A and B are shown apart, each in its own frame.
Chain A
Amino acid sequence: EAGVAQSPRYKIIEKRQSVAFWCNPISGHATLYWYQQILGQGPKLLIQFQNNGVVDDSQLPKDRFSAERLKGVDSTLKIQPAKLEDSAVYLCASSLARQGDGYTFGSGTRLTVV
């Protein structure tokens, strides 16, 4: 089966600019996650979707981050405006259901804010 697709692979922007990341999960996976991973740390959950509904966005900095999953399939994560501390890898993961055996991750987007 095809894996989780993410784009772009790398992105460099200046602070205060905006950026968007795209994710297409494994076909049939109802649950989709966006994570932020700073170098040397574990992934930090930003938002969890179940189909096209938000299950948890408690750690999403809503003043600058937004995410949507229209039609319950692919998803976009946006940052506007970006700050230097947003430099990180943004990982998308999907699973069959909330109690799925595990997550499959996409290759991630490495964001550098200068």
Chain B
Amino acid sequence: GQNIDQPTEMTATEGAIVQINCTYQTSGFNGLFWYQQHAGEAPTFLSYNVLDGLEEKGRFSSFLSRSKGYSYLLLKELQMKDSASYLCAVRSMDSNYQLIWGAGTKLIIKP
């Protein structure tokens, strides 16, 4: 079956670095997405990985290892506004190219 796992909650300090992990077991892998979702708001796109390696975009980076079924989202120079849920999603060719979603990781930033 299709399954995505990520930690339920993480806490980090303002100005620090945090890594949010995501592991997946899916068939027909066709890309991995990270979305940010602030409380009461819709998810917004952060990053997309389809090949192995690191994709960097400002303070945020995302890494993918397809052989290990593993990804992480790295957030640097944390700001209070980064407090949100971070959703990992995998696109599957075997599911009409739909995104299969993890439950999200709630990130709490402390001063």
Q: Tally chain B residues at the interface, Cβ within 8 Å.
A: 21
Evaluate contact between A105 and B44: CB separation under 8 angstroms: yes
Given contact pairs A40-B103, A43-B101, A56 touches B96 in the complex (Cβ within 8 A): yes
Evaluate contact between B42 and A55: CB separation under 8 angstroms: no
**Cβ of B30 < 8 Å from any Cβ of A?**
yes
- Cross-interface CB contact of B96 among A55, A101, A104, A108, cutoff 8 Å: A55
Nearest A residue to B99, CB-CB: A103
Bound CA span A62–B61, Å: 40
Set of chain A residues within 8 Å of B101, measured between Cβ atoms? 42-44
**Cβ of B87 < 8 Å from any Cβ of A?**
yes
**Cβ of B60 < 8 Å from any Cβ of A?**
no
CB-defined interface of A33-46 with B at 8 Å, one 1/0 digit per residue? Answer: 10000001111110
**Cβ of A106 < 8 Å from any Cβ of B?**
yes
Question: Which one of A42, A101, A106, A107 has the greatest number of beta carbons of chain B within 10 Å?
Answer: A42
Set of chain A residues within 8 Å of B97, measured between Cβ atoms? 98-99
Given contact pairs A42-B87, A45-B98, A107 touches B104 in the complex (Cβ within 8 A): no
Nearest B residue to A103, CB-CB: B99
- Cross-interface CB contact of A108 among B33, B42, B104, cutoff 8 Å: B42
**Cβ of A48 < 8 Å from any Cβ of B?**
yes
Report A's interface with B, CB cutoff 8 A: 33, 40-45, 48, 55-56, 91, 98-99, 101-108, 110
